[in-house]
Chains A and B, each alone.
Chain A
Amino acid sequence: MTGNIAILGYGLSAIGPGVGIGLIFAAYINGVARQPEARGVLQGIAILGFALAEALAIFGLVLAFVFK
């Protein structure tokens, strides 16, 4: 079997952001369920947190192609 070990690195780097994004949206859903009128405010914050957590996975993806 041939392949590129860097792809494994991407898989590893996706674990943390995966857990993080799950936690962010869990908190968002919780917040909206408790206080539906706060949806607009929470949405922006949730998307922002999602974007920041996702950056790590994107780094992994790009580095998997850069350091081959």
Chain B
Amino acid sequence: MSLNVLGAISPAAAGGDGEGFHAPTPAEFYQPLIGHGDFAITRPMVVLAISVALIAWFLVATTKRAAVVPGKGQWVTEGAYNFVRNGVARDIIGSHDFLRFVPLLFSMFMLILVNNLFGVIPPIQYPTMSRIGFPIALTLLVFVIYHAVGIRKNGAWGHIKHMIPPGLPKGIYVLIIPLELLTYFVTRPLTLALRLFGNMFAGHMLLLLFITGGEYMLIHGGIGLKAAGVGSFGMAFVLTAFEALIEFLQAYIFTLLAATYIAGSLADEH
């Protein structure tokens, strides 16, 4: 699969009946700011850098002078931290050794959440994760960690053996071993990266379609089309709110699945 999924795609079918309307294409997600081609500084890179600076500043500023009675900022930070610590890490990994994974899961959750929410926040409006490279980088991190954790706990051979559910008849191993290896080495990282990418990409594409389509119908359409254009803009508003929900949900799901995979490598017995 080409890594440059979005950049390589030529404009797809333009809007069927309108002569002038060009439906948004995946190519529009490639927005280089400096340079062009393989080595360019693109918009998502800048957005990611901004988000890292913003998260670091916010977390430090709200916890530097932590009070017993929290202020507004501290309340938000503590809420998010509690959510990841108790709602994800402790519930999934278990109270024995969840604490050493909380920093990873929390920073991952905050990074994805802020980058996703940038998809609907007006001055930026670009979800970083709609470029496949960024979810792949995060997934590689999770992939390496859940294997490393398993190998440190059970040893390399024990980690492989751990993937196979015990207590099965020997004959079924022919089927189950390839399936389990496929799950651990292909399906899990692939779905983890593609889920985040696909949701952000499709959601942003949908907003783009409703807004550009609404604009075209309002400006160039007849009276009936103008009414449809108003409806299209209305849908864009509704979908923006829906997108905000999806963006939060995807950050949660990514963290949840990362915790689940780590917990799976750590589990004592099946």
**Which A positions have Cβ atoms within 8 angstroms of B?**
1-4, 40, 44, 47-48, 50-52, 54-55, 58-59, 61-62, 65-66, 68
Contact = CB atoms under 8 A, between A and B. Distances in A.
B195 A44 contact: no
A65 B12 CA distance: 10
Interface of B is mostly: helix
A62 B91 contact: no
Interface of A is mostly: helix
A65 B194 contact: no
Given A44-B87, A66-B5, A68-B9, 12 more contacts: A1-B16, A2-B13, A44-B256, A47-B253, A51-B257, A52-B191, A59-B191, A61-B201, A62-B5, A62-B194, A65-B26, A68-B12
Contacts of A62: 5, 194, 197-198
18 contacts: A2-B13, A3-B16, A4-B13, A44-B87, A44-B92, A47-B249, A48-B253, A48-B257, A48-B260, A51-B256, A54-B195, A55-B195, A58-B195, A58-B199, A65-B5, A65-B6, A66-B1, A66-B5
Interface of B: 1-2, 5-6, 9, 12-13, 16, 26, 87, 91-92, 191, 194-195, 197-199, 201-202, 249, 252-253, 256-257, 260
Contacts of A52: 191
Contacts of B253: 47-48, 50-51
Given A44-B91, A47-B249, A61 B198 contact: yes
A61 B260 contact: no
A20 B209 CA distance: 27
The 8 closest A-B pairs by CB, nearest first: A58-B198, A55-B191, A3-B13, A51-B253, A61-B198, A58-B194, A58-B195, A2-B13
A22 B97 CA distance: 35
A25 to B, nearest CB: 13
A60 to B, nearest CB: 9
Contact of B256 (A3, A48, A58, A61): A48
Nearest to A50: B253
Given A47-B256, A48-B260, A51-B257, A59 B194 contact: yes
Nearest to A44: B91
Contacts of A2: 13, 16
Nearest to A56: B191
B26 to A, nearest CB: 6
Contacts of B202: 61
Contact of B252 (A4, A40, A47): A47
A44 B9 CA distance: 37
Nearest to B12: A4
A21 to B, nearest CB: 12
A34 B101 CA distance: 34
A62 B16 CA distance: 22
Nearest to B249: A47
Question: Which among A1, A51, A55 has the greatest number of chain B C-beta atoms within 10 A?
Answer: A51
